[in-house]
C-alpha cells in the first residue's frame, strides 16, 4: 500500500503548496523518505530546462529523495488559467493513465508521496474526468486546506461532503488564515471543526513575523496528527 496524502483546497490560492511543502519538510526532519507531486499545473514559467511550475519546484526542493522533474510534474502549462483550458490551448489532453504511471514511479522511490492538487476538488482534468478522479485513483487520504475568509464554512463543508461522496477518506484539515481583515477566526474555526468530522491538523496565523517558524510548527503538527507513532 502506498503511503501519502492528497492535498486539496476549498479554492485556489488557499495555501495548498505551503501545506504540502511543510508536510514534506516535517517528514524529512523525522528521517522519512517523502516526495512531492504536482500532477497538473498552470501558470508555469519557461526556462532553459523547459516549462516548470514554481509550485512543483518548491515541492521538489522540500522532498528528501531526488526524482525526475517529469515524474513530479507530468503536465505543466504556461497559461495562468484553469489547467484543462490551458491544456487545450497547448494542444494537449491530460490523461489519468499518464499521471498514474508517474505517481507509481515516485512511490517506488519514497515511503510517502504528498500530492498537491490544482484549485479545488472538482477542477476538471480533461473533458471527461475531474481531479477528484485522479485523487481517487491514487488511493490516498485527503488533507483539506481551508482558506479562512468569508464563506469558508460553506466551502469547507461542501468540499468535505464531495470528498466523502467520492469514496475518499478525509484525513484532516488545515485552517490557513489568508485574509487579514477576516474577523471571528476562532468562531469560524469552531463551526467548521464541529461539523467537518475530521481533525483540524494545524492553524496557520495570518502574516506571522516568523513565518518560516510558523510553517515548521504547522508541518510538525500535521505529521503528529497524521502519523502519531512518529510524533
> Which positions are annotated as active-site residues?
38
Read off the C-alpha cell for 201: 491538523
Say how many C-beta atoms besides its own lie within 10 A of residue 201's C-beta: 23
What SS3 class is residue 159? Answer: helix
Among 135, 130, 116, 103, which residue's Cα sits nearest to residue 53? 116
∠ at Cα 15 (140, 83), nearest 5°?
A: 70
The pair phi, psi for residue 146, each rounded to 5°, is: -105, 120
Q: Which helix (H) or strand (E) holds 166?
A: none
Q: Are 74 and 39 in contact (CB under 8 A)?
A: yes
**For 113, which DSSP code?**
E
**CA distance linking residue 144 with residue 147, whole number of Å:** 10
Q: Are 137 and 29 in contact (CB under 8 A)?
A: no
Going by their DSSP bridges, the two strands 45-47 and 40-41 should be labelled as unpaired
Q: Are 75 and 43 in contact (CB under 8 A)?
A: no
Amino acid at each position: 500500500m502506498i503511503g501519502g496524502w492528497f492535498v486539496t483546497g476549498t479554492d485556489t490560492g488557499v495555501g495548498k503548496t505551503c501545506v504540502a511543502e511543510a508536510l514534506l519538510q516535517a517528514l524529512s526532519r523525522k528521517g522519512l523518505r517523502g516526495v512531492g507531486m504536482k500532477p497538473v499545473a498552470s501558470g508555469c514559467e519557461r526556462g532553459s530546462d523547459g516549462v516548470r511550475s514554481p509550485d512543483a519546484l518548491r515541492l521538489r526542493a522540500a522532498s528528501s529523495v531526488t526524482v525526475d522533474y517529469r515524474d513530479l510534474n507530468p503536465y505543466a502549462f504556461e497559461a495562468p488559467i484553469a489547467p484543462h483550458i490551458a491544456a487545450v490551448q497547448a494542444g494537449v489532453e491530460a490523461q489519468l493513465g499518464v499521471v498514474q504511471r508517474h505517481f507509481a514511479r515516485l512511490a517506488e522511490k519514497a515511503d510517502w508521496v504528498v500530492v498537491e492538487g490544482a484549485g479545488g476538488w472538482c477542477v476538471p482534468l480533461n473533458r471527461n474526468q475531474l481531479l477528484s478522479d485522479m485523487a481517487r485513483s491514487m488511493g490516498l487520504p485527503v488533507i483539506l486546506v481551508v482558506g479562512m475568509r468569508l464563506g469558508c464554512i460553506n466551502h469547507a463543508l461542501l468540499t468535505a461532503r464531495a470528498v466523502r461522496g467520492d469514496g475518499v477518506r478525509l484525513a484532516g484539515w488545515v485552517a490557513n488564515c489568508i485574509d487579514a481583515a477576516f474577523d471571528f477566526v476562532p468562531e469560524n474555526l469552531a463551526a467548521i471543526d464541529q461539523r467537518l468530522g475530521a481533525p483540524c491538523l494545524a492553524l496557520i496565523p495570518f502574516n506571522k513575523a516568523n513565518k518560516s517558524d510558523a510553517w515548521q510548527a504547522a508541518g510538525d503538527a500535521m505529521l503528529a496528527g497524521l502519523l502519531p507513532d512518529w510524533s
